[in-house]
Amino acid sequence: MKILIVDDDTTNRMVLSAYLKKDGNSVVAAQNGLEAIDVFQAEDPDLILMDVMMPEMDGYDATIKIKSMITDKFIPIIFLTAMTDEKALSRCVEVGGDDFLTKPYNRVILKAKIDALERVSQLYNTVYEQKRELESHQINEAKEHEVARKVFDSILNPGCLSSDNIQLHLSPMSLFNGDVVLAAAKPTGGLHILFGDFTGHGLAASLGALPLSDVFYSMTAKGYSISDIVREVNRKLKLQLPTGMFLAACLVEIDTINMVLKYWNGAIPGAFLHKGDSIVQLKSKNLPLGILGDSGFSDKVDIIEIHNNDRVVLSTDGIFEAENSEGKMFGADRFSDCLNDNLEEETDLFQHILNALDEFTQEQEQTDDVTLGVITCDIDYINQIVSQKGTFKKFVPTHWKFDLHFFYDAIKSIDPVPLINQIMSEIQGHQVQQDKLSMILTELFCNSLDHGLLGLDSSVKSTPEGFMQFYADKESRLDELESGSIFISVTNEPHENGGELTIVFEDSGKGFDVSNIKEPNASIDENSPLKFSGRGISLIKNYCQSVTYNDIGNRIECVYSWSNNET
């Protein structure tokens, strides 16, 4: 150890120094308190032996100064004293001394005291080191959280959470409790809201929010329904989240056109519709998102009629679990009492719930874990958000036409149906209902390919064996195909709320006897022996305004009407 001796008497310093050196310590010395401070700073000793009465600055003042300079480790100060009066000794402790040594010095006692303090000092320094490490971890974590929060904020907030009709209590660190709230205006009017609660805590619980918000915002902007969105979110979370991590979520659509609330709830207990004179719970009928595979997943939404200024109340379970000083939880009953409490129009429901919670928890600062949202179905306001937003491409029905021509080799590798869908969504958004249109296009393409280009006979499909044979033939003939083409043309004739699509498929095949198909019920009769074939045409006829063939039967033209008013 390096020991600093502070004593104004030379012989004292010499005697002490001799003793200390004998025990293997190195020694530095100062003659008074003032000098001691300088030597302390220059030499960084491990222990100090401090005389009390000295000129310039006495041992008390020097000790106060030195102790105040030590921040990051324990440097013991032993007072050297010939004094025996209690007042002087207690003063030594007051100023920060750690022990006394009385003159005359006894070598054995001196060594014992130094050894003891060295052990304390090592222990202290170990603890201090650990404390510092812990603190630096905490600081790092806080920094990382801050960075993460900023990143997440910018990703999660392109929506309309700040709209006046949305009241939200959300702790800045809510993300790290796993809570997430998203809201976005639909391009066709109305509002999508997602209230979610990821399992777990900390940064891990927040990571799922990234794919979630990505899907939610991009699909909402493209005009998808909450059914489509919830299915896609489930699929993505199931794929991307680790086992055991999932998202309890309630998706709500406020449909201002049809004046209904559509919702899908997976394990969010605190979801209600406050209709002024009555309260409807938006019951959870599903497992949280990210558990079920796509085939077992239900995207069925429930629908409730709404009136202007009904309020949607959404809360994660943090509010139920908020505790008061006696350890009692706020609970679902108090929450629901709160909703029933005031049915007067002018009372602010949101503030009323928070007040009740504050009153219950008293001084307990529990609101950090509480995420609560009240969304007022102010129809005029919501419609206004959409037009204000302006960020969505406004799709109006327009005049357009595109032609596609696929030759034999392209047909082997390209499915034109999704391609056509994509082109149309680029031009017209998702206003054209693609599920029906996809079925029509698929049938038209199959007919052109199977009968026109490959010359297959549908009638063999009337028996199960023939059905199998048909597809085997199709595969081999397609493989051997070395000429021919299919021409596709889609034209839109717009009208006020939609348009009329004229879809033409023309193949290079020989055609067929059109007179057959022109028989009114020839292919629609489900009881005919031909029930494995001809379904396609009946389906097309069901959905389309008109279906016509040319005389040689290699060109079909369908007219399909669409409307952008949602059902």
Burial class (CB in 10 A: 0-12, 13-18, 19+), 333: exposed
Closest CB 83 distance from other proteins, rounded Å:
8
- State the nearest-atom distance from the C-beta of 33 to other proteins, in Å: 14
Q: Which stretch binds other proteins (CB under 8 A): 98-106, 189-197, 398-406, 437-445?
A: 98-106
> Of 194, 324, 337, 167, nearest to 264 (Cα)?
194
- Closest separation in Å from C-beta 11 to other proteins: 5
Element (H, E) at 474: helix 464-480
User: Which class for 292: exposed (0-12), middle (13-18), buried (19 or more C-beta within 10 A)?
Assistant: middle
Residue 19 or residue 217: which is nearer to other proteins going by CB? 19
Q: Which stretch binds other proteins (CB under 8 A): 18-26, 109-117, 154-162, 363-371?
A: 18-26
Cβ distance 382 to 188 under 8 Å? no
Which one among 104, 244, 390, 520 touches other proteins, defined by CB under 8 A? 104
- Give the start-end residues of each E strand in 186-332: 191-198, 247-255, 260-266, 270-274, 279-281, 302-305, 311-315
Residues in Cβ contact with 143 at an 8 Å cutoff, skipping those fewer than 6 apart: none
CA distance 107 to 99: 16
Q: Does the footprint of other proteins cover residue 103 (CB under 8 A)?
A: yes
- Cα–Cα distance between 309 and 462 in angstroms, integer? 58
Q: Give the residue with the Cβ less far from other proteins, 39 or 52.
A: 52
Is residue 100 close enough to count as binding other proteins by CB under 8 A?
Answer: no
**Binding residue for other proteins, selected from 69, 82, 127, 304, defined by CB under 8 A:** 82
Task: Work out which of 34, 61, 96, 105 binds other proteins, going by CB under 8 A.
Answer: 105
- Rounded Cα distance between 78 and 110, Å, is 10
Of the residues 1, 15, 155, 427, which one makes contact with other proteins according to CB under 8 A: 15
Q: Measured between alpha carbons, how far is 516 from 528 in angstroms, rounded to an integer?
A: 14
Residue 126 CA to chain centroid, in angstroms? Answer: 41
Question: 86-94 and 59-69 are packed helices; what angle lies between their axes, rounded to 10 degrees?
Answer: 20
Rule CB under 8 A: say whether 8 interacts with other proteins: yes
User: For other proteins, which is the closer residue by CB, 58 or 500?
Assistant: 58
| Least Cβ distance, residue 6 to other proteins (angstroms) | 13
Distance in Å, CB of 17 to other proteins, minimum? 9
CB 195 within 8 Å of CB 373: yes
Q: Kindly tell me which of 9 and 214 has the beta carbon lying closer to other proteins.
A: 9
Hey, what are 170's tokens? Answer: 């959300």
Name the residue nearer to other proteins (CB basis): 19 or 195.
19
The upper half-sphere exposure of residue 565, i.e. CA atoms within 13 Å in the direction of its Cβ, equals 7
Q: How many residues bind other proteins (CB under 8 A)?
A: 16
Nearer to other proteins, 9 or 35 (CB): 9
Which helix (DSSP H) or strand (DSSP E) does residue 354 occupy? helix 349-361
Give the orientation angle of helix 349-361 with respect to helix 331-341, to 10 degrees: 140
Cα separation, 364 vs 356, in Å, equals 13
In the complex, what is the shortest distance from the CB of residue 116 to other proteins, in angstroms, rounded to a whole number? Answer: 22
Residue range at the interface with other proteins (CB under 8 A); choices 35-43, 97-105, 191-199, 513-521? 97-105
Min. distance of Cβ 363 from other proteins in angstroms?
56
Q: What minimum distance in Å lies between the beta carbon of 4 and other proteins?
A: 18
**Minimum distance of other proteins from residue 63's CB (angstroms):** 18
Fill in the per-residue mask, 30 to 59: x = in contact with other proteins (CB under 8 A), - = not in contact: -----------------------x------
Among 65, 91, 107, 222, binds other proteins (CB under 8 A): 107
Our CB check for other proteins shows the closer of 56 and 526 to be: 56
Of positions 2, 22, 495, 518, contacts other proteins by CB under 8 A: 22
Shortest gap between Cβ of 105 and other proteins (angstroms)?
6
DSSP label of 453: I
Q: Is 9 in the site for other proteins (CB under 8 A)?
A: yes
- Give yes or no for a contact between 59 and 40, defined as CB atoms under 8 angstroms apart: no
Instruction: Determine if 10 is a binding residue for other proteins (CB under 8 A).
Output: yes
Closest distance of CB 59 from other proteins, Å: 12
Judged by CB under 8 A, the chain residues 350 through 379 that form the site for other proteins are none
Under the binding rule (CB under 8 A), the answer on residue 79 touching other proteins is no
For the CB of residue 21, give the shortest distance to other proteins in the complex, in Å. Answer: 8
Does position 18 bind other proteins by CB under 8 A? Answer: yes
Q: For the purposes of burial, counting CB atoms within 10 Å of the CB of 422, is it exposed (0-12), middle (13-18) or buried (19 or more)?
A: exposed
**3-class DSSP state of 292:** coil
Asked if 111 touches other proteins (CB under 8 A), the answer is no
- Interface with other proteins (CB under 8 A), residue from 3, 6, 19, 186: 19
Asked whether position 14 contacts other proteins by CB under 8 A, the answer is yes
DSSP string computed for 288-322 = PBTSS-TTT-----EEEE--TT-EEEEE-THHHH-
The phi and psi torsions of 322 (rounded to 5 degrees) equal: -60, 130
Regarding 12 and contact with other proteins (CB under 8 A), the answer is: yes
Sheet containing strand 179-185, strands side by side: 179-185, 191-198, 247-255, 260-266, 302-305
| SS3 call for 174 | helix
109 binds other proteins (CB under 8 A): no
Q: Which residues bind other proteins (CB under 8 A)?
A: 8-12, 14-15, 18-19, 22, 53, 82, 103-105, 107
